[in-house]
Structure 1
Amino acid sequence: MANHRLVTLGWIFTEKFGLILLSMITFVAYARLLSPAELGVGTIIIAIVELVGLIYSSVLEDPLVRLQRLEDKHISTAFWAAVLVSLLSIVLISVAVVFYTSDPMLRWMTALASVKILFTMMARVYVAQMRRSGNFKMLASRTLLGKVVGGVAGIAVALWGLGAWAVIAQALIMEFVSIIVLMRADPRRIAFYIDGPFLRELLRAGTPVAINALSSQTLQRGVNVVLGMTAGANAVGMFNMAMRIIDLPRTAIYNGLLSYALPAFSRRSSEPVRLLGIIGDSTVVSSFLLTPLFLGIALTASDLILLIFGAKWAEAIPLLQVLACTAAIGNTAMYATTALVAVNRSHLTIKAEVATTVLALLLVYVFGSVYGGMAAAVALLARMLMITPLQIRGLNAAVGYDWRRFLDSNYRSVLASLVMVATVLSVSPQLGVQGYLHLAGSILLGALSYAVAYSVLHPRWPQEFKSVFTTR
């Protein structure tokens, strides 16, 4: 059992860290080949399309994973409902963009990008089945292959001088390759059948999940749209540069951990003591890895951007620092939404999620024209400071995960990270080196100071972390 768990986690993180590497390659290429405005235009269009796809995906995928028994009629219902709503969405988006802009290029970009919704939704049934069966090897293979093919295509389009089309091409081709791989791996014929009562049940279970997902993801995709309306494509490009540096590790690691966590939490949903134990243990391990990672990105933001991406992106440095601190705070309660889904209590935080998201978007809308990308970065930070205690309150009401457990899971990594920050800020300027040597020296100094501080606070951490993956 323990070995199977480790193999499963191994494939999850093979996929996610492979995505980090591939995303870094394509992102550096785009930073060199595209202007901030071109990157901004592509980002806005894909943000709109992915936001629509995310809403539908959340309604279907997680509820399917939670089902005790997944029958053929359930698969048919979910698949064909997804296809029909996707086709309708493509038509609506294509018509809406005609009224929004007279630019034929933007119209074509948006219409073609919207096809991504269809490919995304067709994949949901296959992904849900593979998550249920633990076939993360296939999930990793399809994602990595899609990323490779999509990345090569996107870079080729950028080299041809087609600007924002590179971003569209990468996203569309990546999703198309992914669904082809999934359908070849599971070549079953899905009969055209929609079970009305089951679809209504799926919608009831998935709507709270979708609202929560929409609320949080709107901050990453919707903020780009609102910022583009108020501050222009250049500000979106700068903000997206900073956000992508954060999202590369965060999305890979979060998605990997949460993909494994939902079925693991669901299996323990009827055993409160075991559920509380795995939530706490998972938070300890995640906080140990991620809190210093994001604070380290904030410390090295100047070197990272100037050395890797060039001086034309210098405006993104303070944005990256704010967003990195935001991500570090978010680590402390990263399993809250997943745990609520596992016990079917997502509704407990819906109002808080929606209210804080609306407030953040309002802040971007009001201050975006004055402060540009910084308005968006500060809005996300403010939202994180508000939503985290509300998530803990919801967890406490649902499963008894109170503030004492929250602090016990996070205090060591937070204190050790603060020691790391103080050490790097005081010692790094005295290193007497510049460029990549300064960046490497800061990373090494931060890693060593964090490891020493954490070991002092928790001498037995290697043994206890190992037990997380081999017990319960």
Structure 2
Amino acid sequence: MANHRLITLGWIFTEKFGLIFLSMITFVVYARLLTPAELGVGTVIIAIVELIGIIYSSVLEDPLVRLERLDDKHICTAFWAAVIVSLASIVVISLLAMLYTPSPVLRWMTAVASVKILFTMMARVYVAQMRRSGNFKMLASRTLLGKVFGGVGGVVVALLGFGAWAVIAQALLMEFVAIVVLMLCERRRIPFHIDVPFLRELVKAGTPVAINTLSSQTLQRGVNVVLGMTAGANAVGMFNMAMRIIDLPRSAIYNGLMSYALPVFARRSAEPSRLLGIIGDSTAISGFLLTPLFIGIALTANDLILLIFGAKWTEAIPLLQVLACTAAIGNTAMYATTALVAVNSSHLTIKAEVATTLLALVLVYGFGNLYGGMAAALALLARMLIITPLQIRGLNAAIGYGWRRFLESNYRSVIASLVMVATVLFVSPRLGFQGYLHLVCSIVVGALSYAVAYSVLHPRWPQEFKTVFTAR
């Protein structure tokens, strides 16, 4: 059992860290070849399309994973409902682009990008089946292949001088290759059949999940849209630069952990004591790895931006620092939403998620014109500071995960990270190095100081962390 868990997690993180590596390559190329405005335009269009696709996916995928039994009529219903909704959405988006977008180029970009919704939704049934069976090897393979083909295609388009089209080409190719790989590996006939009562139940179960997803994804992608409306494409480009540096590791690691965590939590939903234990252990392990990672990004933001991406992105440095701190705070309750889905209690935080998302967007709209990308970064930070206590309150109401467990799971990584901050801030100016050598030395000093501080606070952490894979 322990070996199976480790193999499963190994494939999950092969996929996710492979994505980080491939994304960094394409991102550096885009930063060199595209202007902030071009990156901003492509980002806004893809953000709108991806937001719609992710909302639809949330209604279907997680409820399918949670079903006790998934038979052929369920698969047919979910697949064809997804296709019909996707095609209708493509038509609506294209018509809206024709009506409200003055530029013919932007109209074509939006219409072409909307096809991504179809590819995304066609994959949901296959992905749900593989998550249920634990076939994360195939999920990793299709994602990595999609990323390779999408990255190559996007870079070629950028090299040819087509600007924002590069971002759109990459996104489309990624999804197209991914669904082709899934269909070739899971060859099956899906006859046209829609079981209306089952579809109604699926939508009912998936609606709270979709609302929570809508809230978080509206936040991530809606901020770009609102910022573009108030501060212009250049501000979006700067903000997206900083956000991408955070999102590359965060999305890869978070998505991998949540893909594994949902079925694990769901299997233990009838045993509250075991569920509480694994949530606490998972939070502690994730905090041990991720909290110092994001705090370290904030500490080295100046070197990261200037050395890797160039001086034209200098304005993104303070944005990156704020967003990195926001991500570090988010680590402390990163499993809250997944745990609530597992016990069918997503409704407990819906109002909080929606209200804090709207608050963040209002802040961006109100202050974007004055402060540019910093307005968006600070809005996300304010939202995180408000939503985290509300998520803990929801977990406490659902399964009894209260503040004591929250603090027990997080205090060591937080204190050790603060020691790391103090050490790096003291040592870094005195190193006497410049450029990449200064960056590497700062990372080494930070990693060593964090490891020492954490080991002092928790000398037996290797043995206790190992029990997560062997005892539960």
Range of TM-score over shorter length: over 0.9
**What's the CA shift for 1:384?**
0.1
In structure 2, the partner of 1:415 is: 415
In structure 2, the partner of 1:146 is: 146
Q: Tell me, yes or no, if structure 1 residue 324 matches structure 2 residue 324.
A: yes
**What's the CA shift for 1:289?**
0.3
Please list every run of at least 4 consecutive aligned residues from structure 1 whose deviation after the TM superposition is greater than 3 angstroms: none
CA offset digits 1:312-341 (Å, max 9, x no partner)? 000000000000000000000000000000
In structure 2, the partner of 1:338 is: 338
CA offset digits 1:259-285 (Å, max 9, x no partner)? 000000000000000000100000000
Which residue identity does 1:322 align to in structure 2? V
Give the distance between the partners of 2:2 and 2:337, measured in 1 at CA: 26
Q: Tell me, yes or no, if structure 1 residue 250 matches structure 2 residue 250.
A: yes
In structure 2, the partner of 1:6 is: 6
Q: Tell me, yes or no, if structure 1 residue 388 matches structure 2 residue 397.
A: no
Give the distance between the partners of 1:248 and 1:465, measured in 2 at CA: 25
Give the distance between the partners of 2:325 and 2:438, measured in 1 at CA: 21
In structure 2, the partner of 1:46 is: 46
CA offset digits 1:405-435 (Å, max 9, x no partner)? 0000000000000000000001100000000
Give the distance between the partners of 2:50 and 2:346, measured in 1 at CA: 22
In structure 1, the partner of 2:309 is: 309
Within-5 A mapping of 1:280-299: 280-299=280-299
Within-5 A mapping of 1:330-369: 330-369=330-369
CA offset digits 1:105-141 (Å, max 9, x no partner)? 0000000000000000000000000000000000000
Within-5 A mapping of 1:150-189: 150-189=150-189
Which residue identity does 1:387 align to in structure 2? I
Which residue identity does 1:296 align to in structure 2? G
TM normalised by structure 2 equals 1.00
Number of aligned residue pairs: give it. 472
CA offset digits 1:235-265 (Å, max 9, x no partner)? 0000000000000000010001110000000
Give the distance between the partners of 1:221 and 1:263, measured in 2 at CA: 27
Q: Tell me, yes or no, if structure 1 residue 19 matches structure 2 residue 28.
A: no
In structure 2, the partner of 1:457 is: 457
Q: Tell me, yes or no, if structure 1 residue 265 matches structure 2 residue 269.
A: no
Give the distance between the partners of 1:14 and 1:108, measured in 2 at CA: 36
Give the distance between the partners of 2:232 and 2:102, measured in 1 at CA: 17
Within-5 A mapping of 1:98-109: 98-109=98-109
Which residue identity does 1:91 align to in structure 2? V
**What's the CA shift for 1:100?**
1.4
Within-5 A mapping of 1:89-104: 89-104=89-104
Which residue identity does 2:450 align to in structure 1? Y
In structure 1, the partner of 2:212 is: 212
**What's the CA shift for 1:218?**
1.2
Secondary structure of 2:15's aligned partner: helix
Within-5 A mapping of 1:23-42: 23-42=23-42
**What's the CA shift for 1:444?**
0.2
Give the distance between the partners of 1:102 and 1:236, measured in 2 at CA: 20
Give the distance between the partners of 1:164 and 1:5, measured in 2 at CA: 41
**What's the CA shift for 1:220?**
1.0
Which residue identity does 1:88 align to in structure 2? A
Give the distance between the partners of 2:40 and 2:426, measured in 1 at CA: 36
Secondary structure of 1:469's aligned partner: helix
Give the distance between the partners of 2:327 and 2:437, measured in 1 at CA: 26
CA offset digits 1:157-178 (Å, max 9, x no partner)? 0000000000000000000000
Give the distance between the partners of 1:7 and 1:101, measured in 2 at CA: 49
Q: Tell me, yes or no, if structure 1 residue 470 matches structure 2 residue 470.
A: yes
Which residue identity does 2:313 align to in structure 1? W
**What's the CA shift for 1:224?**
0.3
Give the distance between the partners of 1:178 and 1:391, measured in 2 at CA: 33
Secondary structure of 1:281's aligned partner: helix
**What's the CA shift for 1:371?**
0.4
Which residue identity does 1:319 align to in structure 2? L
In structure 2, the partner of 1:403 is: 403
In structure 1, the partner of 2:443 is: 443
Which residue identity does 2:317 align to in structure 1? I
Which residue identity does 1:411 align to in structure 2? Y
Secondary structure of 2:123's aligned partner: helix
In structure 1, the partner of 2:59 is: 59
Q: Which runs of 5+ in 2 are unaligned?
A: none
Give the distance between the partners of 2:465 and 2:2, measured in 1 at CA: 13
**What's the CA shift for 1:223?**
0.4
CA offset digits 1:286-316 (Å, max 9, x no partner)? 0000000000000000000000000000000
Give the distance between the partners of 2:159 and 2:109, measured in 1 at CA: 18
CA offset digits 1:64-117 (Å, max 9, x no partner)? 000000010000000000000000000000000111112110000000000000
Give the distance between the partners of 1:24 and 1:219, measured in 2 at CA: 23
Q: Which runs of 5+ in 1 are unaligned?
A: none
Which residue identity does 1:433 align to in structure 2? F
Give the distance between the partners of 1:203 and 1:191, measured in 2 at CA: 21
